[in-house]
Structure formats: structure tokens, C-alpha cells
Structure 1
Amino acid sequence: MPTAATMLGFCAATLAILVIPGPSVMYVVARSIAHGRRAGLYSMLGLEVGALLHVAGTAAGLAALLASSEFAFTLLRYAGAAYLLHLGVQQLRVRHEQVDSPAHRTSPASRLRLFRDGVLVDLLNPKTALFFVAFLPQFVDPGRGPATVQVVVLGLVFVLLAALCDSTYAVAAGRLAARLRDSHRTRRRIDRISAGVYVGLAGMAVLV
């Protein structure tokens, strides 16, 4: 197990990374603005489950295998970008077709779908896997036990801190969105902004 000093250093480094809004935060904020606070929180849970799967892959050596295969990395990256584009188009199409429907305005997005989308968005991002491969081993001490166990522990701590950070953004964005949904025009703008975020994330996944 990592020492207390190592864990404190790891938490400090993790918080320094998480405090700067990245793709995950942008995704959660977009979901919260488009569908409300609960949608953002369910999306956050999906993202963190996806991150946990990446941690498991890192511990099992699968992430290192992905890093060594340019074809697999590229394929997964484009699959993730395509899924984000699908979410963007879906946001525009569904909202615009049903924006005047009272049922549409009062019915929350499917919780299961929001959770699933979050898992897939994170899981289909190979850069997350490569991040864990590069970041977690820096805090592993060979003299403190099996490296796999240490990677899992560090990964769990990272995901927990990420959940706290992302949920804070989800709640804040949800409160802001509740004040902005009073007019038909504002709702349409929210839809377009949310769709734009998904398209922007897709572009980042491919180009950055």
C-alpha cells in the first residue's frame, strides 16, 4: 500500500489536475444545462464507472497494450468521437422536434441512458487509459507491495476525487440552467450550446 506521504502527494497532484475544467467537466456541465442537475449527476456516475474500468484495464496491463497499438488507439479514438457527435445531433434533433411538447419539457431524460452515455463517453476515450498508464505508476513504490494493488488503490482515490469535483460542477450548472429555462428561446439556445459542446469534445478527441 502507498505510504501516507505518497498518498498526500498523489491527492495534491490529482486535485491540481481536476480543478482545471477538462473534457469530463465540459460533458457533465453540458448534460446538467440541457437536462438538469440530476442528469448531470447520473452522467457523472457513468463517467466515473468508465474511469474505474480504465483503472482496471491499467492494473491488468490492457492500457499498456492499447498504447503500443496505434491501430487500436486510433480506432477507439474515432469511435469515441463518433459517439460524441451522435449525442450532439441527438440533442439538436430531439429537442427541436419536441421543444413545444409539455411532456418533453417536464419529462427528465432517461436515467439509465444518461448513465450509459457517461460510461461509453469515458470508456471510448483512449486518452483516459493512457493518462492512467502515465500517471498512476509515478506513485507506485515497489517496496510497498504488489504494484497492481497500489495502482488499484491510487485509481480508486483518483476516481473518488474526480466524482467530488464533477458532481460539484453538475450541481452548479444545474442550478444555473434552472434559472435559464424560463423561455422558449433560451431553451433552444441551451440545446445548441450543449450540442456544440459535444461536437467540440468530438473534435478534441480526434485532433488533440
Structure 2
Amino acid sequence: MIPFHELLFFALAALVLVISPGPNMIYLISRTITQGRKAGLTSLAGVICGFMFHIVMVSFGLTAILFAVPYAYFVLKTLGTIYLLYLAYQAIKPNSRNIFDVDKNIKIDAPKKLFSVGFLTNVLNPKVAVFYLSFFPQFIKTEYGSVLTQSLELGITQVFVSFSINFIIVLTAAKAALFFAKNPLWIRVQKWFMASVLTFLAVKMALSKAK
């Protein structure tokens, strides 16, 4: 089992990453604003199932990679550092999109389609797999037991954090869109804060040592 304090730090890192705008968040917000909370929650169910798919695949993959490939930790750490710096840049790049600016003319979709698109948006997003493969090894230590068990433990923690935050986003999307429309300064503050935290995590990851 991973010690509670390390699991707590991972949860904090997962929190920062889940509030970093990406395809999942944009999809959930657009469906919620245009089709209502029920549509947003249905879409969220699909997104969470997509996370579960990645977690199972990556957990078994990590177990094989870390034990079979020399220097795998260094490669994954480098991937993770680059990925976090990429996210930091995406947060503050010029003319980056306001995630609450959505096309109000999106057609109404059936629940089955909302779930399916949410699921596929996550499953077919290679960045999700890259995040798991590059980030999980930073918190896994052989002395804590099975690599597979630790990977699943981290995955469940990440899914819980992701579900909690995205659930709040779905419930408050319309009000948040109105608030940010009236207070554009907060958009810039949020972007620079996000970029700063992501850069900190990237530096920490780059300086971490093999377990």
C-alpha cells in the first residue's frame, strides 16, 4: 500500500491536472451548457468509464515495463516532465481558448450517444495514457508491494478526484460561464496559476530519483 501522505500528494497533483483544460473538460462543459445538467452527467459517466479503461491497460503495462525494460523509469520520467511543461504552455499560450465559450447551436444528442462520445473522447485521447505512464512511476516504490496493486490504487484515486471535480463543473458550468464572461481577468489569473503549478510539478518530477 502507498503511504497516505504520498497518496495525498498524488491526489493534489491529480487535482491540478484535472482542472487543467483539455478535451474532456471542454466536452463536458459544452454538453452541459447546450443540453443541460442531465446531458452533462451522462457524458461524465462515459468519461469516467474511459478513465477506467486506461487505468486497467496502463496498470498491467507498467508492471511489465518497469520490470522488463532497463532505464524505463528515466524514459517515463522524461516523458512526464515534457508532458507537464506542454500543459503549462497550453495554459498560457497566446489566444488560448476560453473553455466556457461554446457553440450554442450544438444539436441535442441521445443519452447513448452522449455516453459513447464521452467514453471515446477519453479512450482515444493518447494524452491520458501518456499521463498515466509518465506520472504513476513517480509514486510507485517496490517496497510498497505489488506494482500492479499500487498502479490500481493510484488510478482509483485519480478517478475519484476527476469525478468529483468534473461533477462540480457539470453542476456549475452555466453559472461559471456567466461569471467568467463578466470577469475576464479571472481567466488570465487562472491560466497563469495553472501554468505555475504545472511547471512546479514538472521540475519536481525531473529531479525525482528512481525508486
Q: Tell me, what secondary structure is at the counterpart of 2:109?
A: coil
In structure 1, distance between residues paired with 2:2 and 2:176: 40
Gaps of 5+ in 1: 68-90, 96-107, 180-208
In structure 1, distance between residues paired with 2:176 and 2:153: 35
Aligned AA (1:131): F
Higher helix proportion (structure 1 or 2): 1
Aligned AA (1:18): V
Aligned AA (2:29): V
In structure 2, distance between residues paired with 1:134 and 1:176: 32
Contact 2:140 2:150 in 1 (8 A): yes
- TM-score norm. by structure 2 comes to 0.60
Number of the residue aligned with 2:112: 112
- Give the alignment of 1:48-67 within 5 angstroms: 48-61=48-61
- 1:32 equivalent to 2:7? Answer no
4+ residue runs of structure 1 moved beyond 3 angstroms?
174-177
Report the CA distance between 1:175 and its aligned residue. 5.7
Number of the residue aligned with 1:164: 164
Report the CA distance between 1:23 and its aligned residue. 2.3
Contact 2:24 2:47 in 1 (8 A): yes
Q: Deviations over 1:2-26 (max 9, x none)?
A: 0111111111111122233332111
Alpha-carbon RMSD: 2.7
Aligned AA (1:57): M
In structure 2, distance between residues paired with 1:119 and 1:132: 17
In structure 2, distance between residues paired with 1:160 and 1:23: 19
In structure 1, distance between residues paired with 2:120 and 2:170: 18
Contact 1:40 1:174 in 2 (8 A): no
In structure 2, distance between residues paired with 1:14 and 1:121: 19
- 1:22 equivalent to 2:22? Answer yes
Number of the residue aligned with 1:154: 154
Contact 1:43 1:117 in 2 (8 A): yes
In structure 1, distance between residues paired with 2:112 and 2:160: 21
Contact 1:37 1:175 in 2 (8 A): no
What is the total number of aligned residue pairs between the two structures? 141
- TM-score norm. by structure 1 comes to 0.61
Gaps of 5+ in 2: 66-74, 76-103, 179-211
Contact 1:37 1:174 in 2 (8 A): no
Number of the residue aligned with 1:46: 46
Q: Deviations over 1:65-102 (max 9, x none)?
A: xx9xxxxxxxxxxxxxxxxxxxxxxx96x84xxxxxxx
Number of the residue aligned with 1:141: 141
Number of the residue aligned with 1:88: none
